[in-house]
């Protein structure tokens, strides 16, 4: 059964058609600097505020991740210390990854999240691109199948990804099976730099999600919707 969870930001909830429909498999796609980590952090805040347990898999060290999110108003220190938020760093100090070793990351992470599925309500992967860099199509599709199964058992999976970080045919299949697919890009409207979110798909929302809107990331308030007409974008 789908449940709507607030993101903890009323403006974002309105744009999403009420909030986050969970459990779901969600993909957030965008280039560097388009706000992927900030958007997924907002989603994490909402889930943590709702009493859910979250596992975040990141390229950053645990300390760096907490510092970076705190710099844009998302202070995850308490949830981390209270064991509500688990952070799994893919960064191993002093390691030298070969292509062969890197290709093993995706199946290892898949096995890990499956084993710990009952411990977490949601798994956030920021970003999937790091895991798929040396993965073949079969490994990626096997991982997606595993994720779909976990969602069917009640665990949400939210992933960020850079465009074209997987083969085109695999990317199309990934987007097709996702319950939510959000695209982010940077833009300039007049002299103002903004991020543009396009909600391509969001199954389970209680009302019609706004298909496209602008936002910026404020170090005090987090994500703020920018009231600019989309006809000018």
Closest by Cα among 29, 87, 35 to 63: 87
Residue 231 is classified by DSSP as G
pLDDT for the residue 98: 63
pLDDT band at residue 230 under the 50/70/90 scheme: very low
Residue 231, pLDDT above cutoff 70: no
Give per-residue pLDDT as tens, 190-226. Answer: 788 999 999 999 999 988 888 999 999 998 889 999 9
- pTM score above 0.75: yes
Give per-residue pLDDT as tens, 134-164. Answer: 899 999 999 999 999 999 999 999 999 999 8
Residue with tokens 């994500």: 223
Give per-residue pLDDT as tens, 16-34. Answer: 999 999 999 999 999 999 9
Rounded Cα distance, 187 and 214, in Å: 9
Domains of the chain: 3-232 (3.40.50.300)
């Amino acid at each position: 059964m789908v449940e709507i969870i607030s993101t903890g930001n009323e403006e974002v909830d309105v744009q999403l058609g009420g909030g986050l429909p969970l459990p779901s498999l969600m993909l957030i796609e965008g280039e560097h600097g388009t706000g992927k980590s900030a958007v997924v952090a907002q989603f994490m805040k909402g889930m943590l505020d709702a009493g859910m347990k979250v596992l975040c898999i990141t390229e950053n060290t645990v300390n760096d991740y907490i510092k970076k999110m705190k710099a844009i108003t998302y202070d995850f220190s308490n949830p981390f210390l209270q064991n509500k938020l688990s952070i799994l760093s893919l960064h191993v100090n002093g390691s030298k990854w070969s292509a062969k070793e890197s290709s093993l990351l995706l199946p290892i992470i898949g096995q890990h999240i499956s084993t710990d599925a009952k411990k977490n309500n949601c798994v956030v992967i920021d970003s999937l691109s790091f895991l798929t860099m040396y993965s073949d199509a079969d490994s990626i599709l096997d991982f997606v199948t595993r994720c779909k199964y976990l969602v069917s058992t009640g665990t949400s999976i939210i992933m960020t990804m850079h465009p074209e970080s997987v083969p085109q045919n695999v990317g199309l299949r990934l987007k097709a099976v996702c319950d939510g697919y959000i695209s982010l890009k940077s833009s300039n409207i007049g002299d103002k730099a903004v991020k543009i979110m396009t909600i391509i798909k969001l199954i389970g929302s209680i009302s019609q999600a706004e298909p496209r809107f602008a936002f910026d990331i404020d170090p005090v308030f987090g994500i703020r919707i920018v009231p600019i007409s989309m006809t000018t974008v």
